[in-house]
Chains A and B, each alone.
Chain A
Amino acid sequence: MPERDFRGKTAIAGIGYGRSPQAPGAFTTNSGVSVLTLAVRATKEACEDAGIDPKELDGVVSFQLNDSVPPSSVLTALGCPKINYSSDLNGGGEYASFAIVQAAQAVYHGISNYCLVYRAMNGRSGVRMGQLGEGTGAGTGRVGGAGQFTSIYGLAGPPSFFAFQAQRYMALYKVTSLDFANFCINRRTNATNNPRAAMRQPLTIEEHQSSRMIVHPYHLLDCCLETDVACAMVITTTERVRHLKKKTVTISAGMGASSFADEIIDTGLIHIGPRILKAAGIKLKDIDIFEPYDNFTDCPMRLIEDMGWCKRGQAKDFIKDGRTSLDGELPILTQGGLTNEGYCHGLNNALEAVQQLRGEAEDLCPDWRNGSHTYDRNICRQVRNPEIALHCGVTGGSAIIFRRE
């Protein structure tokens, strides 16, 4: 069976963020450099992390919404002599897991030896995802395509598209904005010790409730950030990673990359969840940490439910009593997620999963780089010895399971 054969054959050689002395935490609102420069910085850091020369890269996968650079240009900028695999995925958060899966497939099939995965964007100072719509009628005042049925009612921007799902979810399952606040507080708590995170102050229910309304039912603090950032990952064979610098985190299984549900509350994990567990050869209870795509508060809540940790509408109770905290039975969004760390279209949540599995969560512990953690929750956000992590793209469109050897 091919899925079983793929299991564990590829691994993460290195991860990197597009940092600079001006942006040590990688996420900013105004990078002051081109998207290509951000992508190259992240790639260099990932190769440094792996202990390989960037010129060893011979494959590349990225995803974008006309807001980035052609993938091969990153390898060209680094003087890589040969490109054996190049994939430019046209799309957004649905590819957050799948871009990694595709790179792993290229490596698994022997097409690429070291395949780069990256997402780079000046998402705040350049092309803003929050402005995305089906058409603006520029010049003519008329919109065609899908926009002739949406934009004409003033519908544009991700908060408005997702708020339909949230509203129906809340109404049918008696989920309230206070439940959203609880989820946001838990997630923010994990961000407080994340030096990369843009939002690190502890959050209160009152702050959540009094943050301005963007699109009802979403308050500002229900919405993910818009940031300038790049994230990169280098994939190669597990065999090679065993001889590189870092602990070996393998790819157990991955699939996607989009979904369509008749019921708008339903996510792709209803379909992907059972399949990916089978492909990875694990049970749900084996997953130690969950890094879902958290563009808006209800989305990760529904992903928890659709993966099977609890029933539809029960995530509001599941997340209580510290169950999803760093010391709970299922730590979720261990770095604060897209809402607090920043927005690299979901790829940053995957890098976080790798850091956690290596025991190298970037926090305030003095020696985190060497995997030495205090577990003092005033400074430490490393989960205790996690082995398996699940990461997924927007509304469960794609998913991937990482496993530390």
Chain B
Amino acid sequence: MPDKYKYLLPLPDFETKEWWGALRWYELVFQRCTRCQTFRHPPQGTCPRCYSEDHEWIKVSGRGILYSYITVWQPVLPQWRGDVPYNIVQVTLEDAPNIKIIGNVIGVDNSRLTINMPLVAVFDDVTQEDTILRWQPR
């Protein structure tokens, strides 16, 4: 674990703190509407399908598919300027296909990224309090 993490960290809020809390336990969870079973992400108060506020947190397998990706050469955020080129990906979940989640892929050369590539979630303890979700090929 690095002493000082130089990148941006999340600021969880009322609706997202459970999502971030689960990552601390190496669990990837998503909100699912208890009325119509629709998954949603990022976490929000109301189901966009049936408008119910009732939901449960469902643990998913962490198996994902690469939906799209980019490689940043000229970053806007200064914290990343020393890291170019770096990848950012959109991933769909095997267990919740309507969800797209932003992340990055580690342990692979950027030139090997392809759409529909199978990925698996990894949990990165970047500080004493923060675990960040990343992806690697499976």
* A interface residues with partner B (beta carbon < 8 Å): 130-131, 133, 135-137, 140-157, 159-160, 163-165, 167-168, 171-172, 212-217, 262, 264
Taking CB atoms, residues of chain A closer than 8 Å to B88 are 153-155, 160
Do residues A216 and B85 form an inter-chain contact, with CB atoms below 8 A?
Answer: yes
Given contacts A154-B80, A157-B76, A216-B73, contact A137 B42 (CB under 8 A): no
B90 contacts partner chain A, Cβ-Cβ < 8 Å: yes
A sample of 21 inter-chain contacts (CB < 8 A) reads A137-B9, A143-B11, A144-B12, A145-B13, A147-B8, A148-B10, A148-B11, A151-B8, A153-B88, A153-B104, A154-B72, A154-B88, A156-B75, A156-B76, A157-B76, A160-B72, A164-B70, A212-B73, A215-B72, A216-B70, A264-B100
Taking CB atoms, residues of chain B closer than 8 Å to A262 are 98
Give Cα distance in the complex from A151 to B7, angstroms. 9
Write the nearest CB–CB distance from B38 to chain A, whole angstroms: 13
Partner of B77, one of A136, A142, A164: A136
Do residues B76 and A133 form an inter-chain contact, with CB atoms below 8 A?
Answer: yes
Q: Which of A137, A165, A262 has the most CB of B within 10 A?
A: A137
Residue of B nearest to A148 (CB): B10
Do residues A154 and B86 form an inter-chain contact, with CB atoms below 8 A?
Answer: yes
Partner of A149, one of B42, B72, B77, B114: B42
Q: Which of A130, A147, A172, A213 has the most CB of B within 10 A?
A: A213
Q: Which of B7, B88, B114 has the most CB of A within 10 A?
A: B88
Question: For the side of the interface on B, what is the size category?
Answer: 35 or more
Do residues A140 and B70 form an inter-chain contact, with CB atoms below 8 A?
Answer: no
Given contacts A148-B16, A150-B102, contact A140 B11 (CB under 8 A): yes
Give Cα distance in the complex from A145 to B43, angstroms. 10
B74 contacts partner chain A, Cβ-Cβ < 8 Å: yes
Taking CB atoms, residues of chain B closer than 8 Å to A140 are 11
Taking CB atoms, residues of chain B closer than 8 Å to A216 are 70-73, 85
Taking CB atoms, residues of chain A closer than 8 Å to B20 are 148
Give Cα distance in the complex from A306 to B108, angstroms. 35
Taking CB atoms, residues of chain A closer than 8 Å to B7 are 152, 154
Give Cα distance in the complex from A273 to B67, angstroms. 27
Partner of A213, one of B68, B73, B76: B73
Given contacts A148-B12, A152-B8, A167-B68, contact A214 B114 (CB under 8 A): no
